[in-house]
Structure 1
Amino acid sequence: MAQGTKPMLVGAGRRDEALVSGRPWRARGSGLLAAVAAAFTLLQLLLVRPSLGLGWDEVVYVSQVGTDAPAAFFSAPRARGVPLLVWPIASWSSSTVLLRVYLAVLSGLALYLALRAWRHLFPARVLAAAGALFATLWVTLFYGPQAMPNLWVAFGALLCVGCFVRARLDRLDDRAAWGVLVGAALMSWMRPTDAVWVTLPLLVLIVAARHWRLGAALATGLAAGGIQWIIEAYVSYGGLRERLNEASRIQGDLGWNLAVDDQLRSLVGNTLCRPCDVATPHVSVYAWWFVVPLLAAYGLAVAVRAGRTARTLIPLACATTAAFPYLFLIGYAAPRFLLPAYALLAIPVAYAAFNLVTAPNGRWRPAVTAVAGLALVGHLAVQYTVLDRTVDRTTASRVEWARSAAELHRLGVRPPCLLTGHEAIPVAYYTGCHSGSMGGHNGNITRAEILETARRLPVGALTAPGRTPPGHARDWKLHRLDGMDVHIAPAPLAGGTA
């Protein structure tokens, strides 16, 4: 095994096939992938920290199954995958620390299983490097322990595409067909529209090559994960088309929108860049963003020469379609949107990197290896810096919500209660209240309903500091909170009930 391992790094055709299968790979390869996955989990716990409070979107997802507060408004683009993911913990425990640890461990396990899906296609060291490259991006680490869907779409994409390539090369690989189904279901379960974009190249290949067995597995997975979202569309939105239109409206009316520059600016740690009017960061922050496509293209060229085109071209194609809507069809940016593309690109990028640092005879190229090592160290330093600042900034905002909730409790706003207005969803969750909005993306209540509720329950209208409250709350008593104002309705009538 030791003598035959080196040529594998340069895609040496048939010799690769013997080296990526069988018992030797399982013993050594599984250990490498497990080490990467364990390091990923450990880094999440050390750098992101389990004490980080729940964010705005997390509040929406966790509140659907949690016991701390009433369920927040669930808008059209969202899917029920994350609530189901966190249900084993959130349904009985209010501990954010426990939830973070659970998600960190689960995401590490998911990374390991997703990488293993490629075990008959690439050497273990290439897959371990791909996993390490993806897992050390600040955005991957940041969202690893969070109750958000995008990273889980990325894991599903890795699993689905890897198993698709395996099943395409070996029609007798039944496990691969099941992997296609499970990966597609996971993606569709988390974000149905993202699942469609990721799998577009696979659907084209299925039709072109008449891989009907794979087509059945892929279609079944997409349907199994998305059926609840589709049923909910007819029950709550008047139909699938209506839900898609509403989702488009909430996302700023999907159409031709060049968001490449917005995504680039968001790399500095802006978890949501809407509008993205921040300055372009230093080149060191986004340099990797331009290196990755070049390395992926080189990896494809090497694969073509070695007769291994499909296993590199297919993930590249799926990464391209996964990124397309977030680069060209949406008018704002969030780094997490591109996680599925990053995960798929990691495979050909790692393959290219090993071919750059090793000669055709398998020996290391000292000069190239040294340059690559220095570049990697610099890249990791930048990723850590961005992650550290992002964690500090988000921690501060969530501490403010918790302080506001404590102050609202002191002022008599206790469950059952209602909060409306500025940042009502997260503050209401921390307070244990219902949240409401008279308009916008989360519109779910009318002025009359607010006033009716105020006769029975404590009600507060939140505004940004110094801003004018809505008309119905202008006579309510003003209190200054941590980073916001609240106008509290007169005490409910005696004997009022929830």
Structure 2
Amino acid sequence: MACGTRPLAVVACLFTAVQFALVVPGSGIGWDEAVYVSQVSPYVPAAFFSAPRARGITFLAAPAAALSQDPTALRIWFALLSGAALFGSFRLWLAILRPAVVVSAAGLFASLWITLLYGSQAMPNLWVAYGALAAVACLLLPASRGTHAGLAAAMAVVALMRPSDALWLALPLAAAALASRAPGRLVALTGGVALGALPWVVEAHLRYGGLTARLHRAGEIQGGFAGQFAFGAQLRALSGRTLCRPCSDVPLNHPELALWWLGLPVAVAAGIAVARGRRRPLVLATAAAASVSVPYLFLIGYAAPRFLLPAYALLALPAAQALVHAARTWRRPALAALAVALAGHLAVQYAVLDRAADRYRLTRTAYARTAQELHGHGVRPPCTVSGHEAVRVAYALGCSSRQVGGHDGSIGAGTLQAMACLRPVVLLTSDGAPPPAYARTWRPHGLSPLPGLRSLHAYLPPGCADRAATPRAASTG
């Protein structure tokens, strides 16, 4: 067994164990997750799949989705899978950097609340991070059929998960391949990106009228790809918000939660400075991290901490180099101060993770209650949910979700009204918002509010409301 493999395996096992202890129990499903998982679930009709999304994560989710609609099965599957991927992606670096640096980097990355929260979720960003780690390592390892295949496979995984991330990641790696005059690596790099992006491109022609049309629609949904400055938004999101859109009205009440983020560039610069003979791998990892961060810091006007997971994974390597160097050269008082700082960092990560995980548990209880209340009004599969939070409510019910207009518009008002003659249909509104014109004659029913809402109402067409007394007819309609 290679030196460092066992400690790295311990880190991966601890990473999975913490997820099982703090995140997995009672966790509900997120909005994006419901969209992804519904594509491969035999229990829930597929939700509308918008232009920016890629289907890579649905392939990983399929085994757990086939077993159960319960989010716990999904959480267990991804917690195990993410622990194994953490080990595998960092293990490649044991042949490039000192074992202490690699193990420390894995520990730093695995200890972030963002990594721990998304380790057990069906979301693509962490898998882009693992693919990026593997791709950079394979580019740095001695050229061979194995490393070329590994580079192609890693880039294909990244492109399957998020094609745009693969393109940004490929830029510095292609430059490094050209500089080292390694045509085989360049072929593997471009071939991997093309292979992984192929399903997205094919779907663009089948569903959106071509690649240009899909890119245009994706830009519309994400607010346009123009020069924007999202550093402040990312800073505010570090308090535990999984999505900050918009962020202008989010106060920075706890700046101490973002101190590690502000200190990361300093640690990275220090790690590169003290690396000496191993500087090139750290420079390339940093360049790749910077490149893959560009769209999330400069091209969109909102933030989610998970967007930067690939950058954090790569930057953990030079940051760990700085920590290992400090541990070997600093005197005891300085080391004691560093140990206190690391302990504080871990305490902050745990505090934010605990709050974020609590919100997911609260979400599960709330959506289960909403589903039960709608069951009482005769809403049972096959059924359709529209309006506010339709995706997650539909997932809890086992219904389809359809929206009239907006980014996820997938049905016309007349079609939705006609559908009510065949199956239960429900329109959800929140915080006193009136129903749209096509539903003004529908019957309102008050529901328990979901987290973050003051009120929630369900509007049911007369045909659906009448089924409340005959639920058997509703379930077979």
Question: Structure 1-normalised TM-score?
Answer: 0.90
Give 3-state SS (helix, strand or coil) of 1:307's partner.
Answer: helix
Q: Tell me what 2:470 maps to.
A: none
> Which residue of the other structure, out of 388, 392, 396, is the alignment partner of 2:354?
388
1:188 shift after superposition: 0.7
Give 3-state SS (helix, strand or coil) of 1:491's partner.
Answer: helix
Give 3-state SS (helix, strand or coil) of 2:243's partner.
Answer: coil
Q: Tell me what 2:230 maps to.
A: 259
1:290 shift after superposition: 1.3
Cα distance between partner residues in 2 of 1:183 and 1:482: 46
In 2, are the aligned partners of 1:55 and 1:398 still within 8 Å (CA)? no
Aligned counterparts, 1:414-493, within 5 A: 414-483=380-449, 484-491=456-463
Structure 2 unaligned segments of length 5 or more: list them.
Answer: 450-455, 468-472
Cα distance between partner residues in 2 of 1:434 and 1:36: 41
Cα distance between partner residues in 1 of 2:323 and 2:145: 31
Cα distance between partner residues in 2 of 1:255 and 1:207: 29
Q: Tell me what 2:128 maps to.
A: 153
**1:110 and 2:85 matched:** yes
Map Cα deviations across residues 208-234 of structure 1 (whole Å, 9 max, x no partner): 433210011111211221110110011
In 1, are the aligned partners of 2:244 and 2:303 still within 8 Å (CA)? yes
Q: Tell me what 1:64 maps to.
A: 39
Amino acid at match of 2:211: L
Amino acid at match of 1:343: A
Aligned counterparts, 1:245-394, within 5 A: 245-276=216-247, 277-303=249-275, 306-359=276-329, 365-394=331-360
Give 3-state SS (helix, strand or coil) of 1:486's partner.
Answer: strand
Map Cα deviations across residues 177-225 of structure 1 (whole Å, 9 max, x no partner): 2221121111111111111112210112223433210011111211221
Structure 1 unaligned segments of length 5 or more: list them.
Answer: 1-25
In 2, are the aligned partners of 1:163 and 1:177 still within 8 Å (CA)? yes
Aligned counterparts, 1:119-158, within 5 A: 119-158=94-133
1:294 shift after superposition: 0.7
Question: Structure 2-normalised TM-score?
Answer: 0.94
1:343 shift after superposition: 0.3
Amino acid at match of 1:44: Q
1:454 shift after superposition: 1.1
1:27 shift after superposition: 4.2
Q: Tell me what 1:218 maps to.
A: 189
In 2, are the aligned partners of 1:357 and 1:368 still within 8 Å (CA)? no
Aligned counterparts, 1:226-241, within 5 A: 226-241=197-212
In 2, are the aligned partners of 1:233 and 1:239 still within 8 Å (CA)? yes
Amino acid at match of 1:319: A
Number of matched pairs: 463
Cα distance between partner residues in 2 of 1:323 and 1:264: 14
In 2, are the aligned partners of 1:419 and 1:435 still within 8 Å (CA)? yes
1:474 shift after superposition: 1.4
Cα distance between partner residues in 1 of 2:112 and 2:308: 12
Q: Tell me what 2:452 maps to.
A: none
Shifted more, 186-195 versus 276-285: the winner is 276-285
Aligned counterparts, 1:32-47, within 5 A: 32-47=7-22
Give 3-state SS (helix, strand or coil) of 1:487's partner.
Answer: strand
Cα distance between partner residues in 2 of 1:204 and 1:27: 31
Cα distance between partner residues in 1 of 2:423 and 2:462: 10
Map Cα deviations across residues 417-471 of structure 1 (whole Å, 9 max, x no partner): 1111111111111111111111111110101111110121111110003110111
Q: Tell me what 2:453 maps to.
A: none
Give 3-state SS (helix, strand or coil) of 2:4's partner.
Answer: helix
Amino acid at match of 2:238: L
1:135 shift after superposition: 0.5
> Which residue of the other structure, out of 174, 179, 184, is the alignment partner of 1:203?
174
Identity %: 47
Cα distance between partner residues in 2 of 1:50 and 1:85: 21
Cα distance between partner residues in 1 of 2:194 and 2:372: 44
Q: CA RMSD in A?
A: 1.6
In 1, are the aligned partners of 2:28 and 2:363 still within 8 Å (CA)? no
Amino acid at match of 2:446: R
